[in-house]
Structure 1
Amino acid sequence: MMYKILLVEDDKNISEMLCDYFTEKSSNKILIDVAENGKKGADMAYENPYDLLLLDIMLPQLNGFEICKEVRRFSDVPIMFITARCAQEDILTGYALGCDDYIVKPFSLPVFYNKVNALIKRSKGLVRSSLLKSGTLSLNPNNGIVISEEKEINLPAKEYSILKALLENKGCVVSRDALIKAAWGYDSEVDERALDTHIKNLRKALGDNSKMIKTVVKRGYRIGEDG
C-alpha cells in the first residue's frame, strides 16, 4: 500500500533529507509533498487527502499550531509536530489542539521513520474517541474544541488537560495528584496551589457551567450536572 504525507517545513535542507530518506527506505511506498510555509500547507491539507501531516511549529505566514487547529475542523488525519521547541507547554499545547505525536529536533532518522509508520498504521484501524460531555459543556478530543453553552471557548493547554481529565471521569472524584499528572506530566513536582489557580481560571472560562466543577475537600475535584 502507498501512503501520502504532507510535510510543512521551511528548512529546505530538512525537507530534502526527509524526502530522500523516506523514498529510499520505503522503496517509493511513501510519497511526501512539501509546503515551505504555513499558508500553503493549510491549503494543501484542505485540498488533498493525506495519510499523515508532519508540521514544523515555527513557520512563516501560519505556524504549526494554527495549521493543526484549522485542520482539526475538517479532518481526523494523523498529525505529528517536528520542532526544535521542546518546552513542555508547547508539547501540551500541541496535544490540546489535536496532534497525535511530537518529535523534537535533532532526531534519529530511523526512529522517526518508524514512528511515522506506526502512527499511520494505527490510524488506519483507529476509532476516534467520542465527544466528552456534561450538560451544555463538551470537549472534542479529536480536534481540541471546547463548547460551553453553545459557544466555543479557547483554553490554555493546562486548563484543557484538567477539563479533559475531569470529563473523562465524569461523576467521579479525580485526585489532585491525577490532575497534576494530566496537566504537567508524570515527572513534574508542582505545588498544589498552582493546580488551584488553574481550576479557578478554568471555572472563570466556563461561565455558568463552572458550577459543575465541584471541590471535594481533601480528595480532589469532580465534574457533574447535579448543580
Structure 2
Amino acid sequence: MSYKILLVEDDPSLCEIITDYFEEKSDYGYELEVVQKGDEALDSCLNNYYDLVLLDVMLPEVDGFTICKSLRKKSDVPIIFITAKGNEVYKLKGYSLGCDDYVSKPFSLAELYAKVGALIKRSKGLIREELIVIGDIKLNPHSREVFLNDDELNLAPKEYAILKILMENKNKIVTRESLLLRVWGYDFEGNDRVVDNHIKKLRKALGSSGNAIKTIIKAGYKMEV
C-alpha cells in the first residue's frame, strides 16, 4: 500500500533531497508530489486527497500558515511544517492553526522520515498506542476511557478532548487558540474564555491530580508531572 504526500517547498534542491531520500528509504511506497508556490499548493490541497502534507512557511504568493488555516477548515490531513522559522512564536502559531508537528531547518532526513511515518500510521489507525500516563492519570485513546488511580472517570466530551491533547503534548505549551480550534472547531463564535472554563471543570474532576495542568500566562496550558 502506498501513501500520497504533498511536499510544499520553494527550494528545488531541498525538494530533490527529500524526494530522493523518501523514494530510496520508503518501506510504505510513499508517493511525493512537489509544489513550489503557495497558491498552487492551496489549490492542490483543497482539490486532491493526500495522506500527509509537508509544508514550508515562507512561500511565494501564499504563505504556509494561510494554507494550513484554509486546509484545516475542510480537512484533518496530517500537516508537518518544514521551515527555517524555528523560534517558539512561529511554532506556537503553527500549532494554533492546526499543524501536527514541526521540523526546523536544518533538519535530519531520518527524523523527518520517522515523523512522517508515525503521523501516517496514527492517522490511519495502523498502530495501537498504549495508555497515555501522567502521574495518577491514565488515558486510553482507543476506548476513550480515563482512569484516576485506577478508578474510571466520566468526563464530558470536550473535557476528555482537552485532556487528551494536553497529555499527548506532555511538557509542551498548548495555546488556548489551539484548544479552541481543535475542540470547538473553526465555526465556533465564542471566545477563548470557554477554554478556561472547561480547564477549571477538568481540574476539578481530576482532584489533586489536576495540579498537573499548569497555566502558562498569556500563552495557554501545559501538562507536566
Q: Which amino acid aligns with 1:86?
A: G
Shift of the 184–168 alpha-carbon distance from structure 1 to 2, 3 Å rule, reads closer
- Map 1:120-159 onto structure 2 (within 5 A): 120-125=120-125, 132=158, 139-141=180-182, 145=186, 147-149=188-190
Say whether residues 1:179 and 2:215 are aligned partners: yes
Query: What displacement does 1:80 show?
Result: 0.4
Instruction: State the SS of the aligned residue for 1:69.
Output: helix
Cα offset, 1:131, TM superposition: 7.6
Cα displacement (A) at 1:4? 0.4
Deviation at 1:90, TM superposition (A): 0.6
- In the alignment, the residues of structure 2 paired with residue 7 and residue 143 of structure 1 have an alpha-carbon distance, to the nearest angstrom, of 29
Give the alignment of 1:77-226 within 5 angstroms: 77-125=77-125, 132=158, 139-141=180-182, 145=186, 147-149=188-190, 164=195, 167-170=198-201, 172=203, 178-180=214-216, 183=220
Asked if the contact 2:158/2:183 (under 8 Å) is kept, the reply is no
Mark the runs of 5 or more structure 2 residues left unpaired by the alignment. 127-140, 145-155, 160-178, 205-209
Q: Aligned partners of 1:86, 1:165: CA distance in 2, in Å? A: 28
Higher deviation after alignment, 70-79 or 175-184: 175-184
Supply the distance in 1 between the matched residues of 2:184 and 2:106 (Cα, whole angstroms): 28
The answer to whether the Cα contact below 8 Å between 1:72 and 1:142 also exists between their aligned partners in 2 is no
Looking at structure 2, the residues matched to 7 and 167 of structure 1 have their Cα atoms a distance apart, in angstroms, of: 37
Cα RMSD of the aligned pairs, angstroms, is: 3.5
Q: Give the C-alpha shift of residue 121 in structure 1.
A: 0.5
Change (3 A) 1:165 1:86: farther
Residue identity (%): 44
Instruction: Tell me whether 169-178 or 53-62 shows the greater mean CA deviation.
Output: 169-178
**What are the superposed Cα offsets for residues 141-197 of structure 1, whole Å, 9 maximum, x if unpaired?**
169636235xxx7xxxxxx6x86465355364677981118638689xxxxxxxxxx
Amino acid at match of 1:65: F
SS at match of 1:29: coil
- Contact 1:97–1:143 (8 Å) recurs in 2: no
Per the normalisation by structure 2, the TM-score is 0.65
What pairs with 1:17-56 in structure 2 (closer than 5 Å)?
Answer: 17-26=17-26, 29-56=29-56
Query: Is the 2:10–2:59 Cα contact (8 Å) retained in structure 1?
Result: yes
Q: Give the unaligned 5+ runs of structure 1.
A: 154-159, 188-227
Deviation of 1:55 after TM superposition, in Å, equals: 0.4
Query: Is 2:98–2:181's contact at 8 Å kept on the other side of the alignment?
Result: no
1:61 to 1:26, Cα distance in 2 relative to 1, 3 A = same
**Corresponding residue pairs, total:** 173
3-state DSSP class of the match of 1:113? helix
Aligned 8 A contact 2:58 2:64 in 1:
yes
| Counterpart code for 1:178 | K
State how far apart, in whole Å, the 2-side matches of 1:96 and 1:32 are.
Answer: 26
